[in-house]
A and B are shown apart, each in its own frame.
Chain A
């Protein structure tokens, strides 16, 4: 019999004692996803079960799985009465597919949390029986089942029998184990698992960072929320809207004017002149006072009163144009002001919130993604609020105005005019769908490009140190090729779309020419009206297209809104920050000869440094910040070359050595260990292209990393996230040490490799480092002098010069800068000790 506390291996065991469950689990509350351990048993199974059960034996638990033992999807059943547990396969046929255990014989209940599936197992005195196999989806249900099983197997006892957690060693067995560090006790893990919040409506998991189910998040709600940003500017938005309505209305008037011009002035005048008659006296209905005055005035002139009418109409047309032009520009400016204000408010608010968020939020997302939310998503929202909505209303109004006018002038022709409209609607919607598919693919490819850039550009030191430029270039070129093919797909559609649209529009006008012309032959239509219809026809399509794309616009705005609000809705959690370390490696015998170096040509960071290093020697670099330690190291790797003096490596001036060849001999573990997005194996193997898995495991083992790596469910195939964000600082450090070990460099540079790491981790890293420094030339920079305990000699730098040089004992004896530093640190560590 195992006590609940028996599973002491590894803090991350899951123990399922009753006490740790603490009553009702708190997941999913209602709807389809309600948790029950008493499901409806299929009739066939029920019948089979009754044959086995005694009279009056009641089924207490009936749960179905989603996996069968052979590893295929399917429903197995677990039935529990107060006397026995029975596991059935789907048919409930007796034989191998039924496992029965009497309840009294149950000693322990175990849940094996494995990779992609779990197994529920009961243990008796003699053996163990695996009762159910299920995918992670059913974890909550089976957790509940276990609780109830406990109650049944140990009636009356306050605590159940020791429900052993199958802690079984490390590895995937620990399905949902937090990705970093051990968990203090099993209970915590359980709550985490059981607590997974699911949406009450759709049952989908709710992302922990939003707290709302984005699946059910309604577009309309999001859009309404956007209005919040528009409210403060309503005093501008409403006038701008009214101006727009007026412009739209007025802009339809010139077509009516031209109709009158043709029918009442030009046609009579033209036919009179053709017939050789006198110019007719034309009449015209609109704005009579103004036109007639002009008519009278021109009446005295050779061209006559009709010409005055022509001038009048042209003046009115011009005035309308001027008016709408002026009004549009004023409105445009007003809306731009509103739009920019909204953008600014939204960006500031989002950025402010982003700053308040904890590190974990950033670990989950890549920089490029967050950047695009604050830039492109916000401006898309601005565009939607400032222009999109008004366009939609304005376009609908224009269409209604036009229909009213056309139908009132000539309803038959108006009907014909509308014929191409359904084609346009279908065509636009169809193409819109195609386009959005192509573009969503394309966007992701562009995002991949920014991801790779934002990963390798800050990591350029690592790329160069390991001489992997060509590799990065080929990776990048692969992505640009993907973008190229995506863009060409888009171009294929785009170059088809425009001509097709033009064709449809043109066919509309052909219809009007034909039907209208025919109507004129019938004497049913005037030439002016025909012209008016033609000009309306051309204006019909823009608005129709806009309205067709309305749905897509709403969806896009909704998506952007969701992305922006996701940031705003996230509540900061507390996350600790850990510093990471990187190692680097150099080769052989090194001599500094009077080396001077400056970054800015003003102040020398190194001021005539001279010393010699024997092959295989470990040099500790000591000194205050800014004393030149890192600069010295940067010169060895040739990130920079000295301004004066030389660094002689194995008898050659470093300037004479091929950078690539030199760097291949150098390993670096930097202060902030930089991992690339990819798997752990890829990161370790980065320093040695083509390294075998055998070598990678060996290097990891030597770096004290193997044991924690195989505890990840994905082992060496675990993705570390951008810049290794998904592994802890100490883990990152050990991976980067493994990387340096794998390279087996002759020269190793350790730049603050153990700063701000907890003592236990540090001792593990120290152990790894000790292995790493054996038999190679090492430069180690450390503020914590204890880190330098393996150093053969210490070089104390002071303001860019070598202040002291010698072994620890020699320097202490000298009682100089080093002795002073030592003493201070000893005092400090006394304070820290408690």
Chain B
């Protein structure tokens, strides 16, 4: 009777077999499509930085226009995949907190002393908006400087860390 709106024709999903992503000497990403077009200085953006680290990666050209979306990085040809993964690793830095040593501070800013998968770090956190708990006991934290941290599953933390975290959620 009625046809659904065809919104997908607006979106460009790149065929994983026909995209080539390489890095040039200027440490810039070069994307080559099957139709022969080449884009340099390509930016890679996660559509869902928090929930989908390797899916729905938007490739944006130097003018800020979207070239297309890589639906799943893992489906790319290996060379492109590795370059893209490396770039994502660089662009998105979000250590996973494995242990909380202490959380201090009364007024506004709380000082955290934590151990992460990337090493030990101390940071300050401002408001309760900067700590977000998601489903599956996942917690995301943004510090006063804009750095991001995550806790994959807080119920798997040791009891002390868990107790400390509870005071902040």
In the bound complex, how far is the Cα of B49 from the Cα of A747, in angstroms? 34
Contact-residue size bin, chain A (C-beta under 8 Å from the other chain): 35 or more
Q: Which of B55-63, B77-85, B152-160 contacts A (4 or more CB under 8 A)?
A: B55-63
Checking B91, B121, B144 against A114 with a beta-carbon cut-off of 8 angstroms, the contacting residue is B91
Quick one: which of A393-443 are within 8 Å of B by CB? Answer: 437, 440-441
Q: Are B146 and A176 in contact (CB under 8 A)?
A: yes
Task: Say yes or no for B145: interface residue by CB 8 A criterion.
Answer: yes
Q: Are B47 and A116 in contact (CB under 8 A)?
A: no
Given the known interface contacts A169-B42, A744-B5, the answer about A710 and B109 at a Cβ–Cβ threshold of 8 Å is no
- A771 and chain B: residue at smallest CB distance: B5
In the bound complex, how far is the Cα of B51 from the Cα of A694, in angstroms? 13
Q: Are A136 and B146 in contact (CB under 8 A)?
A: yes
Checking B50, B60, B95 against A170 with a beta-carbon cut-off of 8 angstroms, the contacting residue is B60
Checking B25, B46, B167 against A127 with a beta-carbon cut-off of 8 angstroms, the contacting residue is B25
In the bound complex, how far is the Cα of B110 from the Cα of A214, in angstroms? 11
Chain A residues with CB under 8 Å of B45's CB are 169-173, 710, 715
Chain A residues with CB under 8 Å of B47's CB are 693, 697, 709-710, 715-716
Quick one: which of A280-309 are within 8 Å of B by CB? Answer: none
Q: Are A559 and B106 in contact (CB under 8 A)?
A: yes
Q: Are B25 and A128 in contact (CB under 8 A)?
A: yes
Q: Are B148 and A699 in contact (CB under 8 A)?
A: no
In the bound complex, how far is the Cα of B57 from the Cα of A745, in angstroms? 29
Q: Are A137 and B147 in contact (CB under 8 A)?
A: yes
In the bound complex, how far is the Cα of B105 from the Cα of A207, in angstroms? 15
Chain B residues with CB under 8 Å of A127's CB are 25-27
Q: Convert A157-173 into 0s and 1s, putting 1 for each residue whose CB lies closer than 8 angstroms to a CB of B.
A: 00000000000111111
Chain A residues with CB under 8 Å of B28's CB are 128
Q: Are A698 and B7 in contact (CB under 8 A)?
A: yes
Given the known interface contacts A73-B119, A693-B55, the answer about A215 and B109 at a Cβ–Cβ threshold of 8 Å is yes
In the bound complex, how far is the Cα of B6 from the Cα of A774, in angstroms? 10
Task: Say yes or no for A152: interface residue by CB 8 A criterion.
Answer: no
- A12 and chain B: residue at smallest CB distance: B64
In the bound complex, how far is the Cα of B109 from the Cα of A52, in angstroms? 45
Task: Say yes or no for B18: interface residue by CB 8 A criterion.
Answer: no
Task: Say yes or no for B36: interface residue by CB 8 A criterion.
Answer: no
- B26 and chain A: residue at smallest CB distance: A128
Q: Which of A232-240, A466-474, A700-708 contacts B (4 or more CB under 8 A)?
A: A700-708
Interface residues of B, count at CB 8 A: 68
Task: Say yes or no for B102: interface residue by CB 8 A criterion.
Answer: no
Checking B49, B147, B166 against A714 with a beta-carbon cut-off of 8 angstroms, the contacting residue is B49
Task: Tell me the minimal C-beta distance from B60 to chain A in angstroms.
Answer: 3
Q: Are A702 and B43 in contact (CB under 8 A)?
A: no
Checking A441, A681, A744 against B4 with a beta-carbon cut-off of 8 angstroms, the contacting residue is A744
Task: Say yes or no for B92: interface residue by CB 8 A criterion.
Answer: yes
Checking B27, B42, B93 against A71 with a beta-carbon cut-off of 8 angstroms, the contacting residue is B93
Task: Tell me the minimal C-beta distance from B93 to chain A in angstroms.
Answer: 4
Task: Say yes or no for A123: interface residue by CB 8 A criterion.
Answer: yes
In the bound complex, how far is the Cα of B61 from the Cα of A170, in angstroms? 9
Chain B residues with CB under 8 Å of A114's CB are 90-93
Given the known interface contacts A74-B119, A123-B26, the answer about A716 and B48 at a Cβ–Cβ threshold of 8 Å is yes
Task: Say yes or no for A444: interface residue by CB 8 A criterion.
Answer: yes
Chain B residues with CB under 8 Å of A116's CB are 92-94, 146-148
Q: Are A699 and B7 in contact (CB under 8 A)?
A: yes
Chain B residues with CB under 8 Å of A176's CB are 146
Q: Are A73 and B92 in contact (CB under 8 A)?
A: no
Quick one: which of B66-84 are within 8 Å of A by CB? Answer: 66, 69, 71
Chain A residues with CB under 8 Å of B42's CB are 169
Quick one: which of A92-139 are within 8 Å of B by CB? Answer: 114-117, 119, 121, 123, 126-130, 133, 135-137, 139
Given the known interface contacts A130-B27, A214-B109, A441-B166, the answer about A707 and B49 at a Cβ–Cβ threshold of 8 Å is no
Q: Are B146 and A175 in contact (CB under 8 A)?
A: yes
Q: Convert A621-664 into 0s and 1s, putting 1 for each residue whose CB lies closer than 8 angstroms to a CB of B.
A: 00000000000000000000000000000000000000000000
- A717 and chain B: residue at smallest CB distance: B50
Chain A residues with CB under 8 Å of B167's CB are 437, 440-441
Task: Say yes or no for A313: interface residue by CB 8 A criterion.
Answer: no
Chain A residues with CB under 8 Å of B3's CB are 775
Checking A699, A713, A775 against B2 with a beta-carbon cut-off of 8 angstroms, the contacting residue is A775
In the bound complex, how far is the Cα of B49 from the Cα of A715, in angstroms? 7
Chain A residues with CB under 8 Å of B27's CB are 121, 127-130
Chain B residues with CB under 8 Å of A115's CB are 49, 91-94, 148
Task: Tell me the minimal C-beta distance from A346 to chain B in angstroms.
Answer: 19
Checking B52, B62, B116, B166 against A168 with a beta-carbon cut-off of 8 angstroms, the contacting residue is B62
Given the known interface contacts A73-B116, A715-B45, A717-B51, the answer about A555 and B144 at a Cβ–Cβ threshold of 8 Å is no
Q: Are A555 and B106 in contact (CB under 8 A)?
A: yes
Checking A129, A136, A693, A772 against B147 with a beta-carbon cut-off of 8 angstroms, the contacting residue is A136
Q: Are A776 and B2 in contact (CB under 8 A)?
A: yes
Q: Are A681 and B91 in contact (CB under 8 A)?
A: no
Task: Tell me the minimal C-beta distance from B57 to chain A in angstroms.
Answer: 10
Chain B residues with CB under 8 Å of A207's CB are 108-109, 126
Task: Tell me the minimal C-beta distance from B78 to chain A in angstroms.
Answer: 21
CB<8 Å pairs between A and B, sample of 26 = A67-B93, A67-B118, A71-B90, A72-B119, A73-B118, A114-B92, A115-B92, A116-B92, A117-B93, A123-B26, A127-B27, A128-B26, A168-B60, A172-B49, A173-B45, A175-B146, A204-B111, A204-B124, A215-B105, A441-B167, A558-B107, A693-B56, A706-B11, A709-B47, A710-B66, A776-B2
Known: A9-B64, A115-B91. 14 other contacts (CB 8 A): A72-B118, A73-B118, A116-B93, A123-B26, A127-B26, A204-B124, A204-B144, A205-B144, A693-B52, A697-B47, A702-B7, A710-B60, A744-B5, A772-B5
Which 4 A-B pairs rank lowest in CB-CB distance, beginning with the nearest? A73-B119, A169-B43, A171-B45, A169-B60
